């Protein structure tokens, strides 16, 4: 199955800090994301994963390099124009969920639709729909403080997919979760990629997540050092255990 990439990043370089504290966090990364795939971005702490994710997510501007999203070049766009690209194409999931503590589950999803101009009944019913999709149909009006970590992260997943973005970016989505919840969230991300034909990129440290990946990209010291792909034809992540093929990075 050949698919056109929804995102193409070419030769991304990012310098952070200034003067003596200058760090080149990303040193010429090229990466493509295609629909229907869950890609994991793995690498040691400080290797530039979050920085790269922020750049791919149009939240941070690269020092050099170019990014295309849905065949549109986003280089040189203003902050407001980048916000528009995020609204139209991207969904985000954060390590610490970043839910609004004063809004309940449904409102937390609704606000992501609200900033996109989707309001009223359409917004409410869509929010309910995605919360049901992530298995939270019984927690619609709970506030974050009354939800478990796993449930909170599932609200965040619902929020990320509510506007049907073509790309979902997640930074350490399971880092704050126990094993069971971690698996549940990864299964969800994999399902979102497959069933909804989205491109999902998740930064992770967590070897438990490997089993869900279609593709694993390895980054070290700001450079991509390797890439593995699940053999075609096998579509149950439980069967394909990439951890068994870890010879590349022992």
Ligand X SMILES: Nc1ncnc2c1ncn2[C@@H]1O[C@H](COP(=O)(O)OP(=O)(O)OP(=O)(O)O)[C@@H](O)[C@H]1O
Among 17, 72, 73, 100, binds another protein (CB under 8 A): 100
DSSP characters for 113-155?
HHTTT--HHHHHHHHHHHHHHTT-TT-TT--GGGS-HHHHHHH
Q: Give the footprint of another protein on residues 42-81 (CB under 8 A).
A: 50, 53-54, 57, 59-60, 79-80
Least separation in angstroms between CB 75 and another protein: 17
* Whole-Å CA distances, 138 to 6, 105, 142, 200, 201: 34, 10, 9, 26, 28
Among 34, 86, 212, 228, binds another protein (CB under 8 A): 86
According to DSSP, the β-strands at 199-204 and 37-42 are parallel
Least separation in angstroms between CB 148 and Mg ion: 23
Among 7, 9, 90, 131, binds another protein (CB under 8 A): 90
Partner whose binding site includes residue 86, from Mg ion, another protein, ligand X, none (CB under 5 to 8 Å by kind)? another protein
Residue 94 lies near another protein (rule: CB under 8 A): yes
Of the pair 20, 79, the CB lying nearest another protein is at: 79
Q: Is 82 helix (H, G, I), strand (E, B) or coil?
A: helix
Partner whose binding site includes residue 159, from another protein, Mg ion, ligand X, none (CB under 5 to 8 Å by kind)? another protein
> CA-CA distance, 202 to 94, in Å (whole number)?
10
Applying CB under 8 A, the span of 69-77, 89-97, 218-226, 242-250 interacting with another protein comes to 89-97
Position of tokens 């009944």? 121
H-helix segments, the chain = 49-56, 79-89, 105-114, 120-133, 149-161, 179-195
Partner whose binding site includes residue 8, from ligand X, Mg ion, another protein, none (CB under 5 to 8 Å by kind)? none
Sites of contact with ligand X (CB under 6 A): 16-17, 23, 25, 43, 45-51
For residue 220, count CB atoms less than 10 angstroms from its CB and return exposed for 0-12, middle for 13-18, buried for 19 or more.
middle
Of the pair 25, 210, the CB lying nearest ligand X is at: 25
The CB-side HSE value for 163 (13 A sphere, CA atoms) comes to 27
Least separation in angstroms between CB 149 and Mg ion: 18
> CA-CA distance, 65 to 29, in Å (whole number)?
8
* Interface residues toward another protein, by CB under 8 A: 50, 53-54, 57, 59-60, 79-80, 83-88, 90, 92, 94-96, 98, 100-103, 107, 110-112, 114-116, 119, 159, 171
């Amino acid at each position: 199955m050949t698919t056109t990439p929804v995102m193409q990043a070419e030769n991304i370089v990012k310098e952070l800090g200034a003067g003596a504290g200058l760090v080149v966090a990303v040193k010429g990364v090229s990466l493509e994301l295609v629909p229907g795939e869950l890609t994991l971005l793995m690498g040691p702490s400080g290797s530039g994963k979050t920085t790269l994710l922020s750049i791919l997510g149009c939240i941070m501007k690269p020092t050099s390099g170019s990014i295309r999203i849905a065949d549109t070049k986003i280089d040189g766009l203003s902050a407001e124009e980048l916000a528009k690209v995020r609204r139209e194409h991207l969904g985000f999931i954060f390590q610490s969920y970043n839910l609004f503590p004063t809004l309940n589950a449904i409102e937390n999803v609704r606000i992501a639709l609200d900033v996109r101009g989707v309001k009223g009944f359409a917004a409410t019913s869509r929010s309910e729909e995605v919360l049901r999709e992530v298995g939270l149909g019984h927690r619609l009006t709970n506030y974050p403080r009354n939800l478990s970590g796993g449930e909170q992260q599932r609200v965040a997943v619902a929020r990320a997919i509510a506007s049907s973005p073509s790309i979902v970016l997640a930074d350490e989505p399971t880092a704050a979760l126990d094993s069971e919840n971690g698996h549940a969230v990864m299964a969800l991300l994999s399902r979102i990629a497959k069933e909804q034909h989205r491109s999902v990129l998740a930064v992770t440290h967590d070897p438990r997540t490997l089993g869900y990946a279609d593709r694993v990209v390895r980054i070290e010291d700001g450079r991509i050092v390797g890439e593995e792909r699940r053999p075609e034809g096998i579509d149950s992540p439980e069967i394909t255990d990439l951890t068994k093929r870890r010879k590349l990075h022992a």
